[in-house]
Amino acid sequence: MTFELPKLPYALDALEPHISAATVKVHYGKHHRAYVDKANQLIAGTEFERRSLEDVIAATAPQKKYQSLFNNAAQAWNHGFYWNSMSPDAGGEPDGAIADRLATDFKSFGAFRDAFKAAAVDHFGSGWAWLVLDGGRLKITATANADTPIAHGKTALLAMDLWEHAYYLDYQNQRPSYVENFLDKLANWDFAGRNYALAIERKVA
């Protein structure tokens, strides 16, 4: 199969004023597209040509000889997940089952928010901040460069891109402001809640 650039779930300017149309246009149209295109080039004529993006990530993660393929496949997947992790007029506190679970595993939403912000702000260099389901518990993790939780047997629920191209046009070097606006104005808790519910359903089944 050929990997495709997924359609954005909203208009280029839908995340303004927190993330500008200019940032989304470059980030999605240039960076994300480049990862998809490069991954397609790298799988052409190989054993990975007919495999899903998730399968390629799982198969190439442990092997240095496939580092370039892993990087591009993982970045293609990470970005698709990131766009869905945001929504206009979102953010704030979730409700439903995922809210209950956050309260159980982090004691309160405020404690989760503080921990997520610290993980994202303190992460050195490029990478990602994630809310994941791991071993039956919600956890926060940060990955470097293209690394992704699905390469380590964890279920991703919500993702935040920490590469500078995700925020530099809008925030310059003020990553803390970008993180705060993501959490308070953009985090798509409906998406995270659906991911959590599906993970629990699969575990029960």
Q: Provide the residue ranges of all domains of the chain, joining segments of one domain with +.
A: 21-84, 97-204
98 Cβ contact partners less than 8 Å away, ≥ 6 residues apart: 157, 189, 192, 193, 196, 197
Query: Strand 155-161 relative to strand 137-144: parallel, antiparallel, unpaired?
Result: unpaired
Tens of pLDDT, residue by residue over 108-162, are: 999 999 999 999 999 999 999 999 999 899 999 999 999 999 999 999 999 999 9
Predicted local distance difference test score (pLDDT) of residue 181: 98
**Banded pLDDT at 204 (limits 50, 70, 90):** low
Residues forming a β-bridge with 128 = 143, 161
Query: Average pLDDT of 49-59?
Result: 95
Q: Is the pLDDT higher at 203 or at 160?
A: 160
Do residues 125 and 116 touch, judged by C-beta distance below 8 A? no
CATH architecture of 21-84: Orthogonal Bundle (1.10)
Q: Is the pLDDT of residue 205 over 60?
A: no
The tokens for 23 are 């940032």
Residue 124 is classified by DSSP as -
Query: Average pLDDT of 86-97?
Result: 96
Q: CATH for 97-204, among 3.40.47.10, 3.90.198.10, 3.55.40.20, 3.30.1360.120?
A: 3.55.40.20
Q: In angstroms, rounded to a whole number, what is the distance separating the alpha carbons of residues 30 and 56?
A: 22
Do residues 192 and 112 touch, judged by C-beta distance below 8 A? no
Percent of the chain with pLDDT over 70: 99
Predicted local distance difference test score (pLDDT) of residue 5: 97
Do residues 151 and 61 touch, judged by C-beta distance below 8 A? yes
Predicted local distance difference test score (pLDDT) of residue 202: 83
Query: Average pLDDT of 58-66?
Result: 92
Predicted local distance difference test score (pLDDT) of residue 1: 66
Predicted local distance difference test score (pLDDT) of residue 62: 81
Comparing C-alpha atoms, which of 10, 3, 13 is closest to residue 41? Answer: 3
Q: Is the pLDDT of residue 35 over 80?
A: yes
Entry pTM: 0.96
Q: Going along the chain, which residue ranges are E strands?
A: 127-134, 137-144, 155-161
- Run of H or E including 176: helix 175-181
